[in-house]
Amino acid sequence: MTKTVTGATILGCAGLTLDAGEYAFFREADPWGFILFGRNVDGPEQLRRLTGDLRAAVGRDAVIFIDQEGGRVQRLRAPHWREWLPPLEQAALADPVRSFWLRGRIQAAELRDVGIDGNCAPTCDIAGPETHPFLRNRCLGTDPEAVTRNARATANGLLAGGVLPVMKHMPGHGRAEADSHKDLPHVEASHGDLSAWDFEPFRALSDLPLGMTGHIRFTALDPAPATQSARIVSLMRDEIGFDGLLMTDDLGMQALSGTMGERAEASLAAGCDVVLHCNGDRAEMEQVADRAGRLSPAAARRADAALAARIAPEKIDIAALDAELEGLLGGGLHG
C-alpha cells in the first residue's frame, strides 16, 4: 500500500547546488523524483552533496534520474567517469548481449556511487535509414530482435546494480525524421506496420518498471502527440502490455505546444502517470507542479512497484568487469 502520495512530477534543478528557494519549493511541490543534467555535474563530491540535498528537501529516498546512455548522451563524463561508446556502435561488436549487461552494471556502479539510482535508458527505438541523426546512434540495433536482446541486457545490468532503467521512447521513435526537441515528428506508418516492428521491443520488455513516452504524432492512430493521446497511451497499456510507471519525455521540448502547465495537464489526462520537466526553471516548474497535482491511485501503485525493483546491489569486482568489457570491445570502452 502506498504510504505517501507525492506530486505527479519529476523535476530538475538549476545548478550545482540547491539554493534556499529551490529547497523550499521542492519541499512544497514534493516531486516523485528528480532528474540531473550536465549543468548539475562538476565532480563526485559535489554530486553526492547535491543528490543528498535533493532527497533531504522531500524527506525521503526519492529516485534521482540522469541520461547516461553513452556516446553523445551521457551527463557524467571524463575525467571523473568513463566515456562510453554510442550504443549502436557497441551493438555491432562481438557478443553484444554480454557487453551490454556489463555496460549497464558498470554504469550502475558509477551512478549509485554519487547518489543516482535511475537511468533514462535503454533506448528501445529501432534505428532505420530514416531515423533522425539526433537519435540514430543512440539505438541498440536495426531490427526488433537485436534491440530487444540488447535492451534487455542493458536493463538487467542496471537493475542488478540497483539502478532503475527507463525504456524509451514509447511506442517507438525510430521512424521519426524530425528531432522532437525542435519539432513534432510525424510518422505515417500503418497501425499494423507499427505493431509488427516499432512496438515489438516495448512489448517484449513490457515487464520493466518504468517507461518514457515519445513526443511523436502517429497519423494512423491519433492527431495528438503520443504523450498527450489517450488512444496511444491506452495502446501502450493494452496492446503493448506495459503496466509500469509511464513518464513523459521532457515537457519543455518544442514538439509540444501550450504553456508548461497545459502540457502537464494534457499528458496526465491522456493517461501518463508522471510528467518530466527538465530545465530547472522555477516559474515553469511551479506551473507544472500546480497543474500536475498528486499521483493518481493507479500511478501510485505503479510508482510503488517501480521502487520495489530498486534493490541494494551485491558487491562486485568492478575492475574485473571493466577488463572483461574491454576485451569484448576490442581494447577500449571509449568512443
Q: What is the pTM of this model?
A: 0.96
Q: What is the CATH number of the domain that holds 51?
A: 3.20.20.300
Q: Is residue 5 part of a domain?
A: no
pLDDT in tens, 28-85: 999 999 999 999 999 999 999 999 999 999 999 999 999 999 999 999 999 999 999 9
Is 9 contained in some domain?
no
Assign 190 to helix, strand or coil: coil
- Give the mean pLDDT of 190-196: 97
| 261 within some domain | yes
The reply to whether 333 falls in a domain is no
pLDDT in the model for residue 184:
87
| Residue 182 predicted with pLDDT over 80 | no
Based on the structure, what is the number of domains in the chain? Answer: 1
Query: Which ranges constitute the DSSP H helices of 161-271?
Result: 191-193, 200-204, 230-238, 260-270
Q: Is it the case that residue 281 has pLDDT exceeding 80? A: yes
Residue 335: inside a domain, yes or no?
no
**Distance between first and last Cα of the chain:** 45
Please report, to the nearest 10 degrees, the dihedral formed by the alpha carbons of residues 259, 265, 271, 272 taken in order: 60
| pLDDT on residue 334 | 52
Query: What would the pLDDT profile of 219-240 be if each residue is shown by its tens digit?
Result: 999 999 999 999 999 999 999 9
| pLDDT of res. 333 | 58
Does residue 148 belong to any structural domain of this protein? yes
The residues that are catalytic are 181, 249
Q: Would 14 be classed as within a structural domain?
A: no
What pLDDT, in 10s, does the model give residues 7-25?
A: 999 999 999 999 999 999 9
The three cell numbers of residue 152 are 534487455
Kindly report each contact of residues 309-312 with a partner whose C-beta sits within 8 Å and lies 24 or more positions away, as own/partner. 309/159, 309/164, 309/209, 310/63, 310/117, 310/162, 310/163, 310/164, 311/159, 311/162, 312/162
The boundaries of the domain holding residue 93 are: 26-328
279 domain-assigned: yes
| pLDDT band, very low/low/confident/very high, at 3 (cuts 50, 70, 90) | low
